[in-house]
Amino acid sequence: MVSSTFPNIATFSADGVLFDMDGTLTDSIAAVEAAWTAKALELGLEPEIVIAATHGRRASDNLMELVPGMKKEHIDGEVDRFERSILAFADTPPHSRKSSFASLRTSSPSTSGSSQSSFGPLTPLTSVADGPRRPSSYLSNNIALAFSKFKMDDSNDKVVIAQDSPFEEESEEINDPEEVDEVVDMSVRILPGVRELIKSLPTGKYAVATSGAKTYCHGCLTRTGIVIPDVCVTADDVRLLRGKPFPDPFLLAAKDLGVDPKRAVIFEDSPSGIKAAVAAGSTVIAVCTSHKREQISHLGAHYVVDTMDQVKVELAENGGLNFTIVH
């Protein structure tokens, strides 16, 4: 009898690879949550609901639904401003935070004195069954709420800390055992196994298809040292009529790469992205970097891995790609 701890090994071939970006190649979840928290509080909405609803979808789609009065002719400018705010949060130096978890658990836009937005309630953007995101940096929702103390300075794309911020530069004596000292780091990071996997892929064999617009996509990739591939389909591509969970971004990336979608491998982390990848007809590898396994294992992905360290690729003699997955 084979031991239950013996790993399962799968091998298959493909002609090209399509990567989602955030949560798959890079981890900018802390900065993204900070930006959506700021936007939620600006609109008088619950940050946790907005964060859970927006992951994996284009900022343009999210903003159009969050702000019913948003005009289409203004959306490109709003998306650019929002995505610049993500990068500004990402470039904010780490700060120490001393605060009581108990007090933060009860804080919300309605209890913290935030002004209420004139816009209507949040339209459900995704099924609650998808569950809340699991930050790959393991930041708690409490810390996400505390991001509201960061303020954008639009004049120079910088983030400043409000005077009543819970983030303190100098250490203070902590007498309450429930109070903790946490460092909130919102920098963009490359995820485990990504650099090695990309190095094993020949130029012209892979592409990126992301729900982020060009500003955000290129900003994240360059901050982690990932070379922007020749084929990089972003949310503001004028050829795209629909974003994820529709397969359009992946189908367009496969076309630009010159690969039959059925002969492509897609790496994804979010429910909406996995659904898009499955709909594209490709071999789908789901990565448990932003969601727990039980939140994404039922969405149709062919393989589910914890990190890309479990995936190896070799160039075949016929020019194709041979994959080995330990899962």
* Cα separation, 247 vs 206, whole angstroms: 17
Please give the pLDDT value at position 130. 39
Best-predicted range by mean pLDDT (69-83, 117-131, 230-244): 230-244
Look at residue 121 in the predicted model and tell me its pLDDT.
38
pLDDT at 153: 55
User: Between 141 and 102, where is the model more confident?
Assistant: 141
Closest among 286, 283, 292 to 308, alpha carbons compared: 286
Q: Of the given ranges (44-48, 80-84, 129-133, 254-258), which has the lowest mean pLDDT?
A: 129-133
- pLDDT for position 283: 98
Q: How many CA atoms lie within 13 A of 122 on its CB side?
A: 26
Going by pLDDT thresholds of 50, 70 and 90, the confidence category of residue 104 is: very low
DSSP string across 56-121: TS-HHHHHHHH-TT--HHHHHHHHHHHHHHHHHHHTSPPEEEEEEHHHHHT--TTTTTPPPPSS-P
Average pLDDT on 36-55 reads 90
Q: Give this prediction's pTM.
A: 0.72
Residue 162 burial class via C-beta count within 10 angstroms: exposed 0-12, middle 13-18, buried 19 and up:
exposed
The arithmetic mean of pLDDT across residues 284-303, rounded, is 97
Selected from 3.40.50.1000, 3.40.640.10, 1.20.1050.10, 3.30.379.10, the CATH number assigned to the domain covering 10-26+189-326 reads: 3.40.50.1000
Most confident stretch, 32-36, 48-52, 303-307: 303-307
Mean pLDDT, the chain, as a whole number? 79
Most confident stretch, 96-110, 143-157, 167-181 = 143-157
pLDDT tens for 32-42 read 889 999 999 99
The segment with the largest mean pLDDT, out of 133-142, 181-190, 193-202, is 193-202
| Angle at CA of residue 312, ends 285 and 280, nearest 5° | 25
Location of each CATH 3.40.50.1000 domain in the chain: 10-26+189-326
Does 249 or 56 have the greater pLDDT score? 249
Alpha-carbon Rg for the chain in angstroms: 20
